[in-house]
Structure 1
Amino acid sequence: MRRRIVPATAAIALLLGGATACSSATPAESCAPTLEPGALSDNVTVLGEVGATPEVTIPDDMVITNWQRTVVSEGEDRSAVATEGSLATINLAFFDSKSGELLDEAIGRDAERGASFVLVDRDVPNPIGEAVRCAAPGDRVVVAMSPEDSAQMGAQFGLSEGASLVSVVDVVALSEPEIDGRAKGLPSGFPAVVTDDSGQPGVVLPPRDLPAGKHSATRIAGDGPEVRADDSVIADVLVVDAETGAVATDPATGQPFNSWESGTPRPLYTEDQMGQSGVTFRDEITGKKVGSQVVVVENDEQGSRVSVVNILGIG
């Protein structure tokens, strides 16, 4: 099943994807990006620290015809790079090549938390996936798109006519969009959770009512950073109506609340944002670690629900 990641910030709409070509040796040495450096991407000057809006100087009157990618600075640890299926947490800023104007951005609050997400996917090539491919945490990448390719993506930003869209991408962290670990037993009164060979969970409801109120338990413990209340979260989520046994409806989309079936992990945003959206279990994710699978049971006046949440990343 194809997996696609939506961005964690509503201000920027991304087409997500990428590709890798890696073999033996170390990941950084064996990974070959398909985008090459070019005259524009090589000559963009970028200043500023990760976690802050970059200061960019772009050469005047430079016209290009193809995508270009240049790594302008590298992180110290290159033991892991973005390969096929990697989920990258990134900071992102878009600039107009003619005016040098900052058009839009998604910048995290510190060096450990980016503001958006991208999944590296060879089936869905796009500029941001191409930028991230083969990059390591701490890398800063400049991507310049041709005017033709920029026009479609840059229309939402008010890109100048004939300009190229130049993006600065800081790779903050990498993870895999699958939870891998030993499952633990759940507390008494919780349903059983089982997974098939693909990792998709299912819920086996108990023959009695769920415990009253809202409760959560970690079924698989991750070792990533701890989720904070003001973090944006990207997660795989299954919500089951405990009264009918059917998949519940996502209040934000009206679609079945099962990201494994849709192929699109779900942005959970912050506690405040999700509370306004009608999703009631976001507060139970706070304090859990990235890479964990959390089971939340709710039994209140709104009904009885079971949510299985794989925490994939935070921003």
Structure 2
Amino acid sequence: MRKVPALIATAGLAAVALTGCAPAGGSSCTPAAPAGDASRLVQASGDFGKTPKVDFPTPLDAKKTEASTAIAGDGERIISNDQLITLDIALYNGTTGASVTSTGFTGEAASIPQSDLLPGMRDALHCAVAGSRVVAVIPGAEAFGEAGNPAAGVNAGDSVVAVMDVQDVYLSKADGADQYVWESGFPTVVTDENGVPGLTIPKSDPPKDLKFVALKKGDGAKVSKDSTIYVQALIADWKTREVTQSTWTSEGGAQPLPVAQLQAGIQDALVGQTVGSQVLLILPPAEGAQSDSTTVWVIDILGIQ
């Protein structure tokens, strides 16, 4: 998979050191960057997912980031900066009209955390839905900063015009319905308001066999062995009762996992589960645990690539 152009990712990191007629995720969302006179002047014609024909008068600027929808989608909605998104991007110098960078619109859109985007791009995408084309006019301070990025052809004070095709929007946490766990012996999982799980492991000996249960049942697509899924996951050691790995606290955040490449026990736990589900898994060493101790996994299934 291609990554977002380094120009966008570097600038973004430096700047910050949903079904039916209504989009999934609900229709109540307040845009961070409403449409304005400047964004309405940007024309981005052509089919969604294909290289757009972009036209706008120059110089074009805005006091604050403005965003308009050129193509309306009906997929999952971006309601949090924590959501991983897949999109194609074309950036232009709004002052000169020159092209700055593009992902290429080749059908292999980049999946990225929003922290990698320019601040104005994040604002422009808030409330957008999968399947949408968003056009934005971003003042220099909300793009590459007051100094601009002369090496990329964006000087101090230059605005940026962004055309973004939102291919996919992934959940930020499991949002399925809570499920009652009938079987005893499982660890207890409690999540905070952001979805980050806390884990209490029983003081008893771990089970000798693989065990798993869905703590939340999502209503999204079903995971198959051929799927590549995006997940947040926490792993703890049963013996020490300590968390050994967590994407929730790591810099990389949600990660893509090809199911076919996972240990057999994890595959058994995930295949057949649905997007939006949270799965609790007890993995003994014999089932492919990464240590000689039984491990406990809490996996939020956020989407399927």
Query: In structure 1, what residue type is equivalent to 2:296?
Result: V
CA distance in 2, matches of 1:38, 1:184: 52
Is 1:266 aligned to residue 259 of structure 2? no
Residue number among 74, 83, 86 corresponding to 2:72 in the alignment:
74
- Residue pair 2:211, 2:281 contacting (<8 A) in 1 also: yes
CA distance in 2, matches of 1:179, 1:29: 17
CA distance in 1, matches of 2:146, 2:183: 48
Tell me which residue corresponds to 1:161: 154
Query: In structure 2, what residue type is equivalent to 1:131?
Result: A
Query: In structure 1, what residue type is equivalent to 2:186?
Result: P
Is 1:195 aligned to residue 185 of structure 2? no
Higher relative contact order (CA 8 A, sep 6+): 1
Tell me which residue corresponds to 1:242: 238
CA distance in 2, matches of 1:156, 1:187: 58
Tell me which residue corresponds to 1:149: 142
- Residue pair 2:229, 2:302 contacting (<8 A) in 1 also: no
SS in 2 for 1:131: helix
Tell me which residue corresponds to 1:307: 297
CA distance in 1, matches of 2:107, 2:273: 20
Tell me which residue corresponds to 1:231: 228
Name the TM-score, length of structure 1 as normaliser.
0.65
Unpaired segments ≥5 residues, structure 2: 17-25
SS in 1 for 2:152: coil
CA distance in 1, matches of 2:29, 2:102: 35
Q: CA deviation at 1:140?
A: 1.9
Q: CA deviation at 1:90?
A: 4.0
Name the TM-score, length of structure 2 as normaliser.
0.67
Report % sequence identity.
14
1:199-238 deviations in whole A, cap 9, x for unaligned? 63313236223335x6543232211112354424042x22
CA distance in 1, matches of 2:250, 2:28: 31
**Cα RMSD (Å) of the superposition?**
4.5
For the structure 1 residues 93 and 173, does the alpha-carbon distance in structure 2 shift closer, same or farther, using more than 3 Å as the test? same
- Residue pair 1:292, 1:311 contacting (<8 A) in 2 also: yes
- Residue pair 2:4, 2:112 contacting (<8 A) in 1 also: no
Unpaired segments ≥5 residues, structure 1: 1-7, 18-26, 251-256
Query: In structure 1, what residue type is equivalent to 2:254?
Result: P
CA distance in 2, matches of 1:101, 1:196: 42
- Residue pair 1:284, 1:296 contacting (<8 A) in 2 also: yes
Query: In structure 1, what residue type is equivalent to 2:70?
Result: V
Query: In structure 2, what residue type is equivalent to 1:227?
Result: V
Tell me which residue corresponds to 1:48: 47
Tell me which residue corresponds to 2:278: 293
CA distance in 1, matches of 2:51, 2:142: 23
Tell me which residue corresponds to 1:95: 91
CA distance in 2, matches of 1:29, 1:239: 35
